[in-house]
């Protein structure tokens, strides 16, 4: 074990070499005993399947462990095990440093530059010749740290007033100055998003910001506007859930304050930044929606023993075979409930042996045209599976789709498996049972909540082709009411926004399916609340006329809901 000074791009840190199990480790000298005892000497146990701390993250590329420091309650270290699973990654390793080595260097640069980050403790690589096999990186844990977005949501509620709003702005301004300082030092961090920014302490004065996961960072001689905006757009996009456009504008102004590069063209630069953020959001929605039909961290493709389809990864294939059997038994009346046995669909609900209550919808092909469509690859169950997951990605609550199942063979049934939500009330039943004869204040509140739900549905680019009250469920308590969509066969996600024609159609469907004791003035108020103050009087009149004309062509319910 020899003390070796390591020179990394002009910075210096004191490390020691440790040789164990054919691995040459560089270890922070002050943490040598802890790292050797709690990590290095226990590392061979990982290859034999033994548990080493808590698995924080695991995917094809790496596994991250949190390991408690022996004899120091509350303190921990993180071990990242980087793998090289593909040929492309192996070829890259011939000309690039490993991710572990890069993160060791970048963390050292950050600390020497005065930028807050975790302390790097150890690094090692295992190579076969020049080809990387795996790499290891150990870092000190940051106590009581929270990701930036959860921290903002917890510390700063949506409705901010006075000093709370100022505290949030002060924290974001501090972050902006740190990012500017990073760019001024020529550091480009391509994975700069809120998940890689930790916050400790209480707002506003005690809050401390820390950057982590620096393996994608590198240093360049000069950062131009394009790269700066790319970094800022990635960060701003990751903060959409916890910030407003005003928050992002102030963040950008704090970043650009006194900056010679962005200062002369702030307005155009911010427009470019917001446009890039919008493109990132569209790309995220497309990517997340497609994950349900491919292998991913959450979904898996089923191809075994006559079973085909896609399902959530947390369930085993045995569960889905049990679901197919349970659906057939429920149709015979042996178990569960039979909700519907129609010509085109059959719906059952039952509980699996694992305690999961599921609702199974079988799509049938009663006509030759339906059978031809399915033979050509058009499957309503698969389309509904994708639509339900696309709505979830956009933050719209639905009866959660769990699997799309297709029995092997030309005549195999198509099944959509969802979480059973039959214990919730349909909106038309809820209105009839709870709102008939109630005070105007309670009915007014429900009307506002429902108008907000429909407006939010359309604002998020979603459209339901059959938005009747019987396809909307009411969940939660009176103090915190929520609405869920079911029967989302006709749900669509629309690029560029939902058209006026489709909006009017949805509003008319909902109006026609609500019991008639809801007065005309209440329905007009619903449309006014739906506009959320974003329409002129002429635009609202256009909606009023359109909904009235559409309702005249529909079968409207009477005093009681239609079953």
Contact 444, 348 (CB under 8 A): no
Taking residues 77-84, what's their average pLDDT?
89
Measured CA to CA, the distance from residue 139 to residue 142 in angstroms comes to 9
Contact 238, 194 (CB under 8 A): yes
At 390 the pLDDT is: 92
SS3 category, 26: strand
According to CATH, the topology of domain 298-419 is Phosphorylase Kinase; domain 1 (3.30.200)
Contact 239, 281 (CB under 8 A): no
Identify the weakest region by mean pLDDT among 160-164, 212-216, 328-332: 160-164
Q: What percent of the chain has pLDDT over 90?
A: 25
In sequence order, what are the residues at sequence separation of 6 or more whose Cβ sits closer than 8 angstroms to the Cβ of residue 370?
344, 364
Using 50, 70 and 90 to split pLDDT, how confident is the model at 260? low
According to CATH, the topology of domain 425-552 is Transferase(Phosphotransferase); domain 1 (1.10.510)
Contact 115, 103 (CB under 8 A): no
Q: Domains of the chain: which residue ranges?
A: 2-140, 146-292, 298-419, 425-552
Using 50, 70 and 90 to split pLDDT, how confident is the model at 120? very high
pLDDT of residue 3 exceeding 50, the answer is no
For domain 146-292, the question of CATH label 1.10.510.10 is answered with yes
At 372 the pLDDT is: 84
Q: What superfamily would CATH give domain 2-140?
A: Phosphorylase Kinase; domain 1 (3.30.200.20)
Using 50, 70 and 90 to split pLDDT, how confident is the model at 387? very high
At 231 the pLDDT is: 92
At 374 the pLDDT is: 79
Domains 146-292 and 298-419 share a fold: no
pLDDT in tens, 138-154: 999 988 889 999 998 88
Task: Look at strands 197-200 and 208-211 and give their pairing.
Answer: antiparallel
Task: Look at strands 23-28 and 120-128 and give their pairing.
Answer: antiparallel
- CA-wise closest residue to 551 among 507, 487, 496: 507
Taking residues 245-256, what's their average pLDDT?
90
Q: In terms of pLDDT, which residue wins out, 81 or 263?
A: 81
pTM of the complete model: 0.77
Measured CA to CA, the distance from residue 146 to residue 469 in angstroms comes to 40
SS3 category, 303: strand
Beta bridge mates, 349:
337, 359
Taking residues 483-504, what's their average pLDDT?
87
Measured CA to CA, the distance from residue 548 to residue 551 in angstroms comes to 5
Taking residues 299-312, what's their average pLDDT?
86
Using 50, 70 and 90 to split pLDDT, how confident is the model at 226? confident
pLDDT in tens, 444-468: 888 889 999 999 999 988 999 989 8
């Amino acid at each position: 074990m020899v003390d070796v000074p390591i020179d990394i791009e002009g910075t210096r840190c004191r490390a020691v070499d440790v040789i164990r199990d054919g691995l040459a480790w560089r270890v922070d000298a002050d943490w040598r005993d802890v790292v050797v005892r709690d990590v290095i000497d226990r590392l061979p146990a990982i290859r034999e399947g033994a548990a080493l701390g808590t698995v924080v993250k695991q995917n094809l590329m790496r596994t991250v462990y949190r390991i408690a420091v022996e004899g120091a309650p509350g303190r921990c270290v993180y071990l990242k095990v980087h793998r090289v699973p593909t040929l492309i990654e192996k070829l890259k390793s011939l000309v690039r440093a490993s991710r572990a080595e890069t993160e060791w260097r970048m963390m050292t640069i950050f600390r020497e530059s005065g930028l807050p980050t975790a302390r790097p403790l150890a690094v090692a690589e295992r190579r076969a010749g020049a080809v990387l096999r795996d790499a290891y990186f150990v870092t000190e844990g940051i106590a009581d740290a929270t990701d930036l977005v959860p921290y903002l949501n917890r510390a700063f509620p949506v409705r901010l007033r006075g000093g709370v709003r100022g505290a949030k702005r002060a924290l974001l301004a501090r972050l902006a100055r740190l990012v500017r300082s990073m760019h001024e030092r020529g550091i480009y961090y391509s994975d700069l998003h809120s998940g890689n920014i930790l916050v400790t302490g209480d707002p506003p004065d005690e809050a401390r910001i820390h950057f982590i996961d620096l393996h994608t960072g590198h240093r360049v001689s000069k950062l131009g506007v394009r790269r700066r905006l790319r970094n800022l757009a990635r960060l701003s996009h990751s903060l959409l859930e916890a910030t407003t456009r005003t928050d992002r504008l102030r963040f950008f102004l704090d970043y650009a304050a006194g900056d010679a590069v962005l200062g002369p063209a702030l307005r155009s630069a911010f427009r470019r930044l917001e446009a890039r953020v919008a493109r990132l959001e569209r790309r995220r929605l497309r990517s997340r929606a497609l994950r349900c039909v491919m292998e991913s961290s959450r979904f898996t493709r089923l191809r075994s023993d006559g079973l085909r389809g896609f399902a959530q990864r947390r369930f085993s294939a045995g569960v889905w075979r049990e679901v197919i059997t349970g659906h057939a038994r429920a149709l015979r009346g042996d178990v569960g409930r039979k909700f519907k046995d129609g010509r085109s669909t059959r719906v059952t609900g039952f509980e699996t042996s694992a305690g999961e209550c599921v609702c199974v919808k079988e799509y049938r092909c009663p006509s030759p045209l339906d059978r031809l469509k399915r033979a050509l690859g058009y499957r309503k169950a698969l389309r509904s599976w994708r639509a339900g997951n696309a709505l979830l990605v956009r933050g719209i609550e639905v009866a959660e789709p769990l699997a799309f199942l297709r029995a092997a063979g030309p005549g195999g049934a198509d099944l959509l498996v969802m979480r059973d939500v039959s214990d919730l009330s349909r909106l038309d039943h809820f209105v009839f049972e709870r709102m008939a004869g109630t005070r105007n204040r309670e009915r007014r509140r429900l009307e506002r909540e429902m108008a907000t739900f429909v407006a939010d549905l359309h604002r998020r680019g979603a459209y339901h082709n059959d938005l009747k009250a019987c396809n909307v469920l009411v969940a939660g308590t009176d103090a915190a009411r929520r609405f869920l969509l079911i029967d989302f066969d006709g749900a669509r996600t629309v690029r560029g926004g939902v058209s006026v024609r489709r909006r009017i159609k949805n509003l008319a469907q909902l109006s026609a399916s609500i019991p008639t004791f809801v007065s005309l003035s209440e329905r007009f108020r619903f449309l006014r609340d739906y506009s959320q103050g974003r329409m002129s009087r002429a635009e609202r009149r256009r909606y009023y006329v359109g909904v009235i004309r559409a309702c005249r062509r529909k079968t409207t319910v009477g005093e009681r809901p239609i079953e």
